[in-house]
Amino acid sequence: MLSNHSGEDKTEEPSHYRLKQAHQEGKKKYSKELHFFLVFLINIFFLWFFSKSIFLYFLKLITQGLNFNYFFIIQENNLFLYLNDLVKNGLTYILIFEFFCVLFVLIFLMLLNHTIFSIKRLKFSYTNLNFLNGIKKIFSLSVWLELFKKFLNVCIIFLLFMWYINVNFYEIMQLSLKKPFCSLYIGYNIFFTSILVGMLGLLPALIFDIFWQYNQYYKELKMTHHEVKEEFKQFEGDPNIKRRIRELMKSKIYSKMLYNVNKSHVIVTNPIHYAIALQYDAKKMIAPKVLEKAKGYLALKMCEVAKKKLIPIFQSPLLARKLYQKSAIGEFISEDLYIAIAEILAWVWKIKRWREKGGVYPDKPQNL
């Protein structure tokens, strides 16, 4: 049976957990244009950094190639050995050069995207072999957009190169008339500058691609309202269960409060804010003990229970506040409150005698 939520639109922003999960699975905000631009940029940096060594190397090759060498005539193999060494050295330099370029690009991309290696991206998927899916990808919007970006890049770079050649046309034509050293030096500068000009042509497509890929990444990770609710239940707990737990906890707290209030001898209260239930047994206790304390709604409930059980209630805002702040449930009161509480307990004892024998109702202690 299909889910009722299968056709629901993905309108909710991706949660922190969904983004983290996508990161662990190797899904990244990846821009091919940025990757290509970085490769280009780092290659140019290395060309500039090693420009002196590259220039001297090519100058040496040209000088050796234009000079007559009797060593090559003596034996035919000497020329092939020389060319072999030349190719080996050239390829070695190029491979070392490209190795460091690729290494710097990878490091930069990993730092930029906080990339971690994910084995999940390496697993074989039969869906990638589906012919129909392949046809859909070929005619998808992303493929046509990619083609448009490439075409835009080629057009802009071509126009920039044409402009640069037109500006430096006279200088380029004069290279053949100059000495080899000067021609090589000027030619290298023209080549290097032309690459920088070509990089400017990559910027429009690069900026567009970064914003497009960023938008597509978050669009793919968007969630339905049902998915958000299910994820909240998974990590924060089902609201119904949490409400039930709170109700049970409240009932346990209320039951414990009733039990402690029933055992107490007096309730000291600030009629609205605080209520403290005290117990004192001269034979077993060294000082009065706090059985229960509460504030707000529970304080009012304590007073209601005390009235039903005919437990004396003594109202003293200042004393109630001190008892609440200085005393903990199950512990004895602090020594500085002994005198005040002793007067209250004496009043409670008089009430007990009054209930047994009658007479005049005892007056409450004053100024406490």
Taken in order 4, 6, 8, 11, the sign of the CA dihedral is positive
Q: Assess if residue 276 is contained within a domain.
A: yes
Q: Per-residue pLDDT tens for 92-127?
A: 877 887 788 778 777 776 776 655 555 555 555 555
SS3 292: strand
Please provide residue 266's backbone torsions phi and psi, each rounded to the nearest 5 degrees: -160, 150
Domain boundary among the residues 175, 195, 220 is at: 220
pLDDT of residue 188: 76
- d(C-alpha 6, C-alpha 185), whole Å: 66
Question: Please, what is the average pLDDT of the chain?
Answer: 77
Angstrom distance (rounded) from CA 184 to CA 55:
8
pLDDT band of 277, cuts 50, 70, 90: very high
pLDDT (0 to 100) of residue 1 = 41
- Cβ neighbour number for residue 205 with a 10 Å cutoff: 23
Q: Are residues 156 and 278 in the same domain?
A: no
- Cβ 115 vs Cβ 108: under 8 Å: no
Does residue 145 share a domain with residue 279?
A: no
Judging by DSSP bridges, how do beta strands 274-279 and 289-295 pair with one another? antiparallel
Count CB-CB contacts under 10 A for residue 190. Answer: 16
pLDDT given for residue 289 in this prediction: 92
Burial of 340 (0-12, 13-18, 19+ CB in 10 A): buried
| C-alpha torsion sign, points 50, 52, 53, 54 | positive
- Give 27-48 pLDDT, tens digit per residue: 666 677 777 787 778 777 877 7
Q: What percent of the chain has pLDDT over 70?
A: 75
Is 214 part of any domain?
yes
158 and 70 housed in the same domain = yes
The residue out of 175, 194, 220 marking a domain boundary is: 220
Give the Cα separation of 331 and 287 in Å (integer).
Answer: 9
Residue at which a domain ends, from 191, 220, 249: 220
The whole-number average pLDDT for the span 275-296 is 90
CB 57 within 8 A of CB 51: no
Residue by residue, DSSP assigns 259-271 as HHHHH-SEEEEET
Domains contained in the chain, number: 2
Claim to verify: residue 70 and residue 212 sit in the same structural domain = yes
pLDDT tens digits, one per residue of 243-274 = 765 666 677 777 888 888 889 999 999 877 88
Q: Residue 244: inside a domain, yes or no?
A: no
| Proportion of the chain in helix, strand, coil states, percent, rounded to 5 | 70, 5, 25
Q: In terms of DSSP H, where are the helices of 174-265?
A: 180-200, 203-220, 225-236, 239-263
Kindly state whether residues 102 and 192 are assigned to the same domain.
yes
Domain-embedded: residue 236:
no
Instruction: Name the nearest CA neighbour of 175 among 184, 183, 185.
Output: 183
Domain containing residue 311: 257-357
Looking at the structure, tell me whether residues 104 and 178 fall in a common domain: yes
Round to whole Å and give the CA distance between 342 and 37: 85
Residues 159 and 274 in one domain: no
Q: Which of 183-187, 226-230, 297-301, 343-347 has the highest mean pLDDT?
A: 343-347
Out of 93-107, 225-239, 354-368, least confident range:
225-239
pLDDT of residue 216: 78
User: Is the confidence at residue 129, as pLDDT, over 70?
Assistant: no
> 85 or 305, which is more confident?
305
Question: What is the predicted pLDDT for the residue at 299?
Answer: 86
Mean local confidence (pLDDT), 332-358:
90
Within a domain: residue 2?
no
Same domain, 114 and 167: yes
Asked whether residue 216 falls in the same domain as residue 268, the answer is: no
How many CB atoms are closer than 10 A to CB 290?
22
**According to the model, what pLDDT value does residue 74 have?**
67
